[in-house]
């Protein structure tokens, strides 16, 4: 489909190069954003800060989307399916040429980690705002990334450094390392093509399902195997490199709270907040970035054994992360702005020594999903919207009132982040913001997050990748105890009703007969009636209970 335009309102030597005047590094005049939703809006804002004209692309389904209306120009690149629009490399490059954009920002997802796209952008005479295709090819494949980590001296989780060639090989290696093991897609991330295999009986189905899912998600069915680490934390390090030899890290993000291997809550710093561990992990991440001649923003992900604090390289994402706002809130560094200036040829605007971590930030990914129905997508029109605000609150959103949440794309509608001077204060602010947040017309994950921030283990920072499953177990136990307590209270209420009825019966008999029975005798009969009722009449709905007269 031809684009339609619519007008809208190897190792390097470490060194420090100070940022010079923009006269030395001319800034782009126009950037095309090859993405949609909240990340497209976020990049548009960074362009505005730098006085750069932003160009949006959109599919037929996104013609009325927020990112389209927020840009200076917007180009339709195809029908709703991603493969015909947001993954359509020729259409995106044609749109950039048509609008005379000088650079393309891929955001995250879609083509952000596609070396073929990065190379095509460069061959078209445009600047790709991200790492070079060569570095992307090394790091983009999980198996080659593991080899690069080994060569750079970065510890990895025990496993294969090449794709599995057969089920028999998987069986042999799994037996060598011992179960449980993880099967993972070589070409992607985000939990796609990933299976935890607890025993040999699960290996065949895990192997076949991981392969088919990897092929569907990434066009590459290759998978690799690694030993599963028991109850690990998932902690990542933000790195940044320029073309002048500067490579720095901006500390860690805790990403252990995951649903189906997809992060849903992230925070900076980790609740561990160990300066020594941060320095060691940061040094390892910088070493790997240097080893592959990396330029731009990247994230090196690790598994961390909570008790020993040993860490193992997991993968490197060659793009901006969804959770980048928490790092921005704590360091005060605008990562998207830095991506753009570094891509223009400028050195980093800061040194490693200048990076400081102030306070604590936590982010929730707000999805149009039903948490009470296995988190199934909940597409539809947003009929009501109240966005939280106030001290320390940031909401990166790609929707507005009456926006349509499409069935064609990821259902992420916003990222709600809260900053505080301490982790406790950031939790307090996040809890308040979640309570303020209202979205009508669709189901969202907001109720789920409201429960999480009130959970004792979350508040104490006892996190690992199994957090959500244990959270549900704790919730189920609490619900069971509450039900039992309610049943007990109902039984007491029924027993008291029986006793009261027995007393009333005894008094009625006395008054009706004119009896001169003594008070002590009445009290004794009350007791007998009550005891009989308690013994015989507990199940008031049953058909076998005796009458009060019989119980006397």
Overall CATH class of domain 363-465:
alpha beta
- The string of pLDDT tens digits covering residues 8-33 is 543 333 344 444 444 468 999 999 99
Q: Residue 520 — pLDDT band, cuts 50, 70, 90?
A: low
Average pLDDT over residues 365-389: 96
195, 233, 259, 319: the active-site residue? 319
Q: Among 170, 157, 262, 162, which residue's Cα sits nearest to residue 207?
A: 170
Least confident span in 112-116, 333-337, 542-546: 542-546
Query: Does the domain made of 4-129 have the CATH classification 1.20.58.740?
Result: no
Rounded CA separation 344/339 (Å): 9
pLDDT on residue 141: 84
Least confident span in 281-290, 441-450, 514-523: 514-523
Please calculate the CA angle 311-207-186 and round it to the nearest 5 degrees. Answer: 50
> How would CATH label the architecture of 158-227?
2-Layer Sandwich (3.30)
| pLDDT above 70 (res 542) | no
Rounded CA separation 281/236 (Å): 9
Average pLDDT over residues 416-434: 98
- Cβ neighbours, 10 Å, residue 114: 20
| pLDDT above 50 (res 394) | yes
- CB under 8 Å to 12, separation ≥6 — which residues? 245, 247, 290, 293
Q: Residue 521 — pLDDT band, cuts 50, 70, 90?
A: low
Query: 38 near 59, Cβ under 8 Å?
Result: no
- The string of pLDDT tens digits covering residues 132-166 is 999 999 998 888 999 999 999 999 988 898 899 99
pLDDT on residue 21: 42
Rounded CA separation 535/527 (Å): 12
- Cβ neighbours, 10 Å, residue 493: 10
Percent of the chain's residues with pLDDT above 70 = 88
Percent of the chain's residues with pLDDT above 90 = 74
- Cβ neighbours, 10 Å, residue 169: 15
Phi, psi of 225 (to 5 degrees): -125, 140
Active site residue 29: no
Q: Among 316, 298, 317, 319, which residue's Cα sits nearest to residue 105?
A: 319
Domain boundaries, the chain: 4-129, 158-227, 363-465, 483-551
Q: How distant is the alpha carbon of residue 445 from its chain centre?
A: 11
- CB under 8 Å to 307, separation ≥6 — which residues? none
Query: 344 near 422, Cβ under 8 Å?
Result: no
């Amino acid at each position: 489909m031809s684009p339609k335009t619519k007008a809208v309102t190897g190792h390097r030597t470490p060194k420090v190069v100070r940022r010079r005047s923009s006269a030395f590094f001319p800034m782009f005049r126009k950037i095309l954003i090859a993405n949609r939703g909240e990340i497209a809006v976020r990049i548009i804002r960074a362009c505005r800060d730098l006085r750069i004209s932003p160009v949006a692309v959109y599919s037929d389904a996104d013609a009325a989307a927020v990112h389209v209306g927020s840009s200076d120009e917007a180009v339709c690149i195809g029908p709703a399916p991603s493969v015909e629009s947001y993954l359509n490399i020729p259409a995106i490059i044609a749109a950039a040429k048509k609008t005379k954009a000088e650079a393309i920002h891929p955001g995250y997802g879609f083509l952000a980690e596609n070396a073929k796209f990065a190379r095509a952008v460069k061959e078209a005479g445009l600047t790709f705002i991200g790492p070079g295709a060569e570095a992307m090819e090394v790091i983009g494949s999980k198996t080659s990334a593991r080899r690069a980590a080994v060569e750079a001296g970065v510890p990895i989780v025990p496993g294969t450094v090449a794709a599995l060639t057969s089920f028999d090989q998987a069986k042999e290696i799994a037996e060598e390392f011992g179960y449980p093991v993880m099967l993972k897609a070589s070409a992607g991330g985000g939990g796609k093509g990933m299976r935890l295999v607890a025993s040999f009986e699960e290996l065949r189905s895990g192997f076949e399902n991981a392969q088919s899912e990897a092929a569907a998600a990434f066009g590459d069915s290759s998978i690799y195997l690694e030993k599963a680490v028991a109850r690990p934390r998932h902690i990542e390090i933000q790195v940044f490199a320029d073309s002048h030899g500067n490579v720095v890290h901006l500390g860690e993000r805790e990403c252990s709270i995951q649903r189906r291997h997809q992060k849903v809550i992230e925070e900076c710093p980790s609740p561990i907040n160990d300066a020594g561990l941060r320095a060691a992990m940061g040094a390892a991440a910088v070493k790997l970035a240097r080893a592959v001649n990396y330029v731009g923003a990247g994230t090196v992900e690790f598994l961390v054994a909570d008790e020993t604090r040993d860490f193992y390289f997991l993968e490197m994402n060659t793009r901006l992360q969804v959770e980048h706002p928490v790092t921005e809130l704590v360091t005060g560094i605008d990562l998207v702005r830095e991506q753009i200036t570094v891509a223009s040829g400028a050195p980093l605007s800061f040194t490693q020594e200048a990076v400081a971590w102030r306070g604590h930030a936590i982010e929730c990914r707000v999805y149009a999903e039903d948490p009470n129905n296995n988190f199934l997508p909940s597409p539809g029109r947003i009929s009501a919207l109240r966005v939280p605000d106030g001290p320390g609150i940031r909401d990166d959103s790609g929707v507005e009132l009456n926006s349509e949440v499409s069935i064609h794309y990821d259902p992420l509608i916003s990222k709600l982040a809260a900053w505080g001077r301490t982790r406790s204060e950031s939790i307090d602010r996040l809890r308040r913001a979640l309570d303020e947040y209202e979205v009508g017309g669709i189901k969202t994950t907001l109720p789920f997050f409201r429960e999480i921030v009130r959970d004792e283990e979350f508040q104490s920072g006892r996190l690992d990748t199994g957090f959500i499953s244990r959270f549900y177990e704790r919730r189920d136990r609490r619900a069971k105890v509450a039900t039992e307590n309610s049943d007990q209270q109902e039984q007491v209420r029924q027993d008291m009703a029986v006793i009261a009825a027995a007393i009333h019966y005894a008094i009625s008999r006395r008054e009706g007969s004119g009896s001169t029975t003594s008070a002590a005798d009445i009290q004794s009969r009350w007791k007998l009636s009550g005891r009989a009722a308690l013994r015989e009449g507990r199940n008031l709905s049953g058909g076998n209970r005796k009458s009060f007269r019989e119980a006397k």
